[in-house]
Chain A
Amino acid sequence: MTAQPTAAQPPAWLALSSRALDAAILLALFVAVWQGLYAYAGDSAITSPLSTLAYASDLVRTSSFWGHAQATLVAFVYSLVISIALGVVLGLVLGLQRFAGDVAEPIFVALYTIPKVTLYPLILLIFGLGVSAKVAFGVIHGVIPIILFTLNAVKNINPVLLRTSRAMRLTQWQTVTTVLAPAVMPELITGVRVGFSLTMLGVLIGEMFASQRGLGFLIVNGISLHNVRMTTAVILIVVVFAIAANGLLLWVDKRMRRGAAGAV
Chain B
Amino acid sequence: MSRQAAIGWTRVAVIVGFVAAIEVLCRLKVINPLTLIPPSEMASSLWELIVSGRITDDIAQTFSTVAIAFALSVVTGFILGAVIHALPRVRRAVDPLLASYYSIPFFVFYPLLIALFGLNTIPLIVIGFVFATAAMVISTLNGLDRVPRVMSKTTRVLRMSSARSVWFVTLPAAAPYLFTGLKLALAYSFIGVIAGEFILSGGGLGFSIAYAYNNFDNQTMYALMMFVLVIATVMNGALHVWEQHMMRRRTRS
Q: Which residues of A contact B (CB under 8 A)?
A: 1-3, 19, 22-23, 25-26, 37, 41, 44-46, 99, 102-104, 106-107, 110, 113-122, 124-126, 193-194, 196-197, 200-201, 204-205, 208-209, 216, 219-220, 222-223, 228, 231-232, 234-235, 238-239, 242-243, 245-247, 250
Q: How far is the CA of A116 from the CA of B225 in the complex (A)?
A: 10
Whether B93 is near chain A, meaning CB under 8 Å from some CB there, is: yes
Whether B202 is near chain A, meaning CB under 8 Å from some CB there, is: no
Please tell me if the beta carbons of B11 and A239 are within 8 angstroms of each other in the complex. Answer: no
Which of B52-60, B67-75, B97-105 has 4 or more CB atoms under 8 Å from chain A? B97-105
* Nearest CB of chain A from residue B106's CB, rounded to whole Å: 8
Which of chain A's residues have a CB closer than 8 A to the CB of B236?
Answer: 110, 113-114
Which of chain A's residues have a CB closer than 8 A to the CB of B111?
Answer: 208, 219-220, 222-223, 231
Can you name 28 A-B pairs with beta carbons within 8 Å?
A2-B88, A44-B115, A45-B115, A46-B115, A103-B10, A103-B11, A107-B11, A114-B228, A114-B229, A114-B236, A117-B206, A121-B209, A121-B210, A121-B225, A194-B102, A200-B105, A201-B107, A205-B105, A205-B195, A208-B111, A208-B199, A223-B111, A223-B200, A239-B108, A242-B100, A242-B104, A243-B104, A246-B100
Which of chain B's residues have a CB closer than 8 A to the CB of A37?
Answer: 116
Which of chain A's residues have a CB closer than 8 A to the CB of B109?
Answer: 235
Please tell me if the beta carbons of B108 and A219 are within 8 angstroms of each other in the complex. Answer: yes
Known contacts A107-B14, A235-B108; is-contact A25 B93 (Cβ 8 Å): yes
Q: How far is the CA of A231 from the CA of B7 in the complex (A)?
A: 49
Which of chain A's residues have a CB closer than 8 A to the CB of B145?
Answer: 1
Which of chain A's residues have a CB closer than 8 A to the CB of B15?
Answer: 107
Please tell me if the beta carbons of A118 and B104 are within 8 angstroms of each other in the complex. Answer: no
Closest A residue to B6 using CB positions: A99
CB-CB contacts below 8 Å: B176-199 with A? 183, 187, 190-191, 194-195, 198-199
Please tell me if the beta carbons of B100 and A250 are within 8 angstroms of each other in the complex. Answer: yes
* Nearest CB of chain A from residue B221's CB, rounded to whole Å: 6
Whether B34 is near chain A, meaning CB under 8 Å from some CB there, is: yes
Q: Which residues of B contact A (CB under 8 A)?
A: 6-7, 10-11, 14-15, 34-36, 88-89, 91-94, 96-97, 99-100, 102-112, 114-116, 145, 149, 152, 183, 187, 190-191, 194-195, 198-200, 206, 209-210, 212-213, 221, 224-225, 228-229, 232-233, 236-237, 240
Partner of B103, one of A119, A125, A219, A246: A246
Which of chain B's residues have a CB closer than 8 A to the CB of A115?
Answer: 190-191, 194-195, 206, 228, 232
Q: How far is the CA of A229 from the CA of B14 in the complex (A)?
A: 50
Q: How far is the CA of A240 from the CA of B96 in the complex (A)?
A: 14
Please tell me if the beta carbons of A247 and B100 are within 8 angstroms of each other in the complex. Answer: yes
Majority secondary structure of chain A interface residues (helix, strand, loop or mixed): helix
Q: How far is the CA of A38 from the CA of B9 in the complex (A)?
A: 56
Partner of B99, one of A106, A201, A209, A250: A250
Majority secondary structure of chain B interface residues (helix, strand, loop or mixed): helix
The 10 A-B residue pairs with the shortest CB-CB distance, nearest first, are A246-B103, A22-B93, A113-B187, A223-B111, A121-B213, A197-B103, A45-B115, A115-B194, A117-B195, A114-B232
Which of chain A's residues have a CB closer than 8 A to the CB of B183?
Answer: 113
Which of chain B's residues have a CB closer than 8 A to the CB of A219?
Answer: 108, 111
Please tell me if the beta carbons of A46 and B199 are within 8 angstroms of each other in the complex. Answer: no
Please tell me if the beta carbons of B115 and A3 are within 8 angstroms of each other in the complex. Answer: no
Which of chain A's residues have a CB closer than 8 A to the CB of B7?
Answer: 99, 102-103
Closest B residue to A222 using CB positions: B111
Q: How far is the CA of A243 from the CA of B106 in the complex (A)?
A: 12
Q: How far is the CA of A2 from the CA of B224 in the complex (A)?
A: 49
Please tell me if the beta carbons of B100 and A41 are within 8 angstroms of each other in the complex. Answer: no
Known contacts A220-B111, A246-B103; is-contact A117 B96 (Cβ 8 Å): no
Which of chain B's residues have a CB closer than 8 A to the CB of A204?
Answer: 105, 107-108
Closest A residue to B205 using CB positions: A118
* Nearest CB of chain B from residue A137's CB, rounded to whole Å: 12
Known contacts A102-B7, A117-B194; is-contact A208 B107 (Cβ 8 Å): yes
Please tell me if the beta carbons of B116 and A45 are within 8 angstroms of each other in the complex. Answer: yes
Please tell me if the beta carbons of B93 and A118 are within 8 angstroms of each other in the complex. Answer: no
Which of chain B's residues have a CB closer than 8 A to the CB of A247?
Answer: 96, 100
Q: Residue among A113, A126, A245 with the most chain B CB within 10 A? A: A113
Q: How far is the CA of A23 from the CA of B93 in the complex (A)?
A: 7
